[in-house]
Amino acid sequence: MPGNTLKKRELDRELHVGARVVVNDKAPGGYFALLGTVLEIVLGSRCGVTLDNRSGPAIYLDSACLDPAPRAPKVA
C-alpha cells in the first residue's frame, strides 16, 4: 500500500518537536479539536503534547490523532 506509506511520511514531516498541532477525531474522547505543541516524539509514532487550554503534564497521543495546526495567512 504505497499510498498509506506516503501519507504517513508526509504526516511525520509535519510533526516535529515544537510543532503546533490540533487533535483530530481519532483521539480519545475529550481531546478533539484542542490545540497544542509537540514536546517530544516517542518511538517515532507517539507524541507528547502539551495542550493550550489545560495545565498539567503532557498527554501522549498516536501521531494519527494529530494534524498540523492551521497557519495564519501571511500579510504582505
Give me the domain span that covers residue 47: 16-68
List residues bridging with 49 in a β-sheet: 38, 59
30: left (phi over 0), alpha (psi -120 to 50) or beta: left
pLDDT in tens, 35-67: 999 999 998 789 999 999 888 899 999 999 999
Instruction: Identify whether 48 is part of a domain.
Output: yes
pLDDT score of 5 more than 60: no
Q: What does the alpha-carbon distance between residue 67 and residue 76 come to, in Å, rounded to a whole number? A: 27
Instruction: Identify whether 9 is part of a domain.
Output: no
Instruction: Return the pLDDT at 43.
Output: 85
Instruction: Identify whether 74 is part of a domain.
Output: no
Confidence of residue 72 (pLDDT cuts 50, 70, 90): confident
Instruction: Find the CATH number of the domain harbouring 54.
Output: 2.30.30.30
- Whole-number average pLDDT of the chain: 83
Instruction: Identify whether 75 is part of a domain.
Output: no
